[in-house]
Amino acid sequence: MTLSIRSLNKGYGITSPVLFDISFELEKGSITGVLGKNGIGKSTLLRSIAQLEPIQNGKIFWDGNPLKKRTMFRLFYFQITTIRIRQSKPL
């Protein structure tokens, strides 16, 4: 199973672009982190992938097929099993 993001764009209004031409693929079982400064668009990226916020341009594919609402449960499970990382000791 593969989650593919191609040329994703998201912004808030005309003058506030947040994500510009984001493209990547995640394979089942991979561990991926999203790192960046405050306000850079990490949460916006995840919310856009989960279709909690509309994207302006780009495509999201699940196993080569365009992502649809009915596949959201499988995607949510994929995100939980792929992205969850627990810290064993406080820094």
Helix (H, G, I), strand (E, B) or coil at 49: helix
91: in domain: no
37: in domain: yes
pLDDT at position 20 is: 92
CATH number, domain containing residue 74: 3.40.50.300
Say what the pTM is: 0.71
Residue 63 vs residue 72, higher pLDDT: 63
pLDDT-derived band at 74 (thresholds 50, 70, 90) equals low
Q: Percent of the chain having pLDDT more than 70?
A: 75
Cβ atoms of residues 9 and 17 within 8 Å: yes
Instruction: Tell me which residue range forms the domain holding 10.
Output: 2-83
Of the candidates 23, 9, 3, the residue with the CA atom closest to the CA atom of residue 64: 3
Cβ atoms of residues 41 and 10 within 8 Å: yes
Tally of domains within the chain: 1
pLDDT at 75 over 70: no
Cβ atoms of residues 41 and 32 within 8 Å: no
| Burial class (CB within 10 angstroms; exposed 0-12, middle 13-18, buried 19+) of 85 | exposed
pLDDT at position 83 is: 47
β-strands 65-66, 57-62 pairing: antiparallel
70: in domain: yes
